Amino acid sequence: MNAAIVFARKEAREILRTWRIWVLPCIVLFLALSGPLLARYTPEIIGAVAGNQLGHLTLPTPTYVDAYAQWIKNLGQIVVIALIIIYGGIVSAETNSGTATLVLTKPVSRSAFVVVKAMVQTVFLCALVALGTLVTWGTTAVVFGTAPASGLWRASLVWLVLAVFLLAVMVFFSVLIPAPAGASGAGLGVFLLLTIAALWPPLAKYSPAGLAGQAADLATNSHHDWLPWPLVSALALCVLLVAAATLIFRRREL
């Protein structure tokens, strides 16, 4: 247990001292700041640039709901792709460089090596999404003059479950596929399959494929039927994926 705690501290320091502390947080904070502004001024920009071509079409007056929807949309597209690419080498990068072999000579088991990595990065994602949501909330309040909290925070929480699920997917692929690029490609394939699966109502209702749509509905206050099963199935699959990753890693030759 002490060795696992020491390894967790090492992982946390690695986040703070390497490029990871800049790339994903900068993307999230930029989107959190720009999303409400984009939602507020897009109709005016379109009217000024292409008003004549659109026949002086009048666009609806934007509200805080548009800012919330923009935030969830950005999370579900830009941040998801960045997350999958960044975590393509979450395990394989250290096994390929030999760092894992050095760490495992200490009293850290192979199972702890994988589980601690997943847990530390999950905490990092939780803190990052909370910070981004807080910035979106504040910026929306400044830009629109009102920003009810409930829908935004619930939508972000649902999306966070999707992000943690994709992190577990990347932990699994990073153990299974030695090349980070290959693991990222497989992760993008899973994300594409989730997007397609969401079009079929039974899968959207009972599997992680429904999380993105549920988050979008919550952000726009249009979700009238709360569906717990996508959350439950995603969290259960997280446990199974990390468990499978540990089993594969324990049998893998370093």
Residue written as tokens 């507020």? 40
pLDDT at residue number 96: 83
Handedness of CA 220, 74, 176, 97 (dihedral sign): negative
User: How many domains does the chain divide into?
Assistant: 1
Q: Which domain holds residue 105?
A: 2-251
For the beta carbon of residue 101, count every other beta carbon within 10 angstroms: 11
Residue 132: HSE in the Cβ half-sphere, 13 Å Cα cutoff: 30
pLDDT at residue number 222: 66
d(CA 194, CA 196): 5
Do residues 118 and 148 make contact, with C-beta atoms less than 8 angstroms apart? no
For residue range 181-211, list pLDDT tens digits in order. Answer: 999 999 999 999 999 999 999 999 999 999 9
Is the pLDDT at 164 greater than 90, yes or no?
yes
For range 141-170, the mean pLDDT: 94
- Rounded to the nearest integer, the mean pLDDT of the chain is 88
pLDDT at residue number 168: 97
For residue range 41-81, list pLDDT tens digits in order. Answer: 877 766 666 555 555 556 678 899 999 999 999 999 999 99
pLDDT at residue number 241: 97
Q: What is the DSSP string of 8-25?
A: HHHHHHHHHHSTHHHHHH
Residue 102: which pLDDT band, with cuts at 50, 70 and 90?
Answer: confident
pLDDT at residue number 171: 96
- Nearest-5° Cα angle at 241, 174 to 166: 70
Handedness of CA 191, 14, 172, 206 (dihedral sign): negative
d(CA 71, CA 67): 6
